[in-house]
Amino acid sequence: MPSLFDPLTLGKLTLPNRIVMAPMTRSRNDDNGVPPALVAEYYAQRAGAGLIISEATYISASSKGYSRIPGLHSAEQVAGWRKVTDAVHAAGGRIFAQLVHCGRVCVPPLLPAGIEPVAPSAIAINGKNWTDLGAIDFVVPRALETGEIPGIVADFAKAAKNAIDAGFDGVELHSASGYLCHQFLDGTINQRTDQYGGSPQNRIRFVVEVIDALVAAIGADRVGIKVSPQIKFNDVKEPDAAEVYPLLATALSERKIAYLHGAKQGGYDVHAGMRHLFKGTYFAGAGYDQASGQALLQAGGAEAIVYGALFISNPDLPKRFKDGIALAPGDSKTHYSKGPAGYTDYPAA
Ligand SMILES: Cc1cc2nc3c(=O)[nH]c(=O)nc-3n(C[C@H](O)[C@H](O)[C@H](O)COP(=O)(O)O)c2cc1C
């Protein structure tokens, strides 16, 4: 019976346990998307995780969706991340970079002058994006021309190569939470009439092309993907998730990537819908505690469990689980604030 404390082979890596740290935006980077020393300290404190997945990291200047998130397209960003990955490795850990294009979540003040937010179709999100400049209304994005799509796919591949140059052990494609990849999957957001829209087969095309480009750039054993079907965020709806996600699982399985990370954050049961069709390593996330994570592993429902919020306030979460040490409560007010408070000041037990 697999336990949370059993090792797991992931490509060329051996994870010492099956307790994975979820990708979590923490907004401590500078305005150029460069992680400072504080970020290295934060991740190194959490190096006891079987694997750390970084906060969402934008692939190009035109894909940044929030203030103070990090990037992986400039030399300065790569140098900043190198200090983070070195610190994690020195502390005995392993870390993948989560790659994102925010699509219609981007708002003009976060983008280079004259660059508009882009998306599969010209449909705005209802509501506002909270930035350091205040709350800004989402705008109607420009629908991508079919001929522009290979350039975005290439930006993902370049960012993956940059991630390896920065010392990451691999990358996770962010196809969750209503960002660009997820926008292509959802037929209420993607109303294209070219080969990237319409049928579920067409709507998964963009994500599969990005995965193929990542695999070509850095190798299948260093590529993972996260999905969160029907998450109630960024106007995601996905009425036909039950058709789209099994199709995607099969296409991903054929690519023999390192892992599929399903976060069950909406009505659709992603684990039931994808796990049996994806023949590789499956990570299950969202809402797990030690007992429910252990139970899912034992039932064969996943190879590893992904923990988010618990890792924020418990940097030594695997040790606390193993030794039965009480967990520290977190504070959502400091999730996206500045500086060390609520970030690097949660002590190990
Ligand atoms: C502060 C915070 C930031 C997050 N940022 C990201 C992110 O950058 N990328 C992502 O895929 N998910 C992000 N998530 C979602 C988590 O990865 C995870 O799916 C979610 O927290 C549910 O898992 P949990 O119940 O173990 O916390 C974030 C969650 C939190 C709490």
Query: What is the pLDDT confidence band of residue 1, given thresholds at 50, 70 and 90?
Result: confident
E-assigned strand segments in 22-164: 51-58, 95-100, 118-119, 128-131, 134-137, 142-143
Q: Give the pLDDT band (50/70/90) at residue 159.
A: very high
Cβ of 65 closer than 6 Å to ligand 1, yes or no, is no
| All structural domains of the chain | 8-334 (3.20.20.70)
Q: Give the model's pLDDT for residue 345.
A: 98
pLDDT tens digits along 166-211: 999 999 999 999 999 999 999 999 999 999 999 999 999 999 999 9
Q: Residue 240, class by beta-carbon neighbours within 10 Å (0-12 exposed, 13-18 middle, 19+ buried)?
A: middle
Both structure tokens of 71:
């990037």
**Going by CA atoms, what residue is nearest to atom 19 of ligand 1?**
286
Instruction: Kindly state if the Cβ of 177 falls inside 6 Å of ligand 1.
Output: yes
Tracing tokens 């919020």 back to the chain, one arrives at: 309
pTM, to two decimals: 0.99
CA-nearest residue for atom 15, ligand 1, is 24
Rounded to the nearest angstrom, the distance between the alpha carbon of 113 and the centre of ligand 1 is: 30
Confidence band of 98 (pLDDT split at 50, 70, 90): very high
Dmax (CA) of the chain: 56
Separation CA 33–CA 142 (nearest Å): 24
Known catalytic residues are 179
**Beta-bridge partners for 223:** 171
User: Number of H helices and number of E strands within the chain?
Assistant: 11, 14
294 lines ligand 1 (CB under 6 A): no
285 CA closest ligand 1 atom index: 23
What one-letter code names the amino acid at 312?
A: I
Nearest alpha carbon, ligand 1 atom 7: 24
DSSP state at residue 232: S
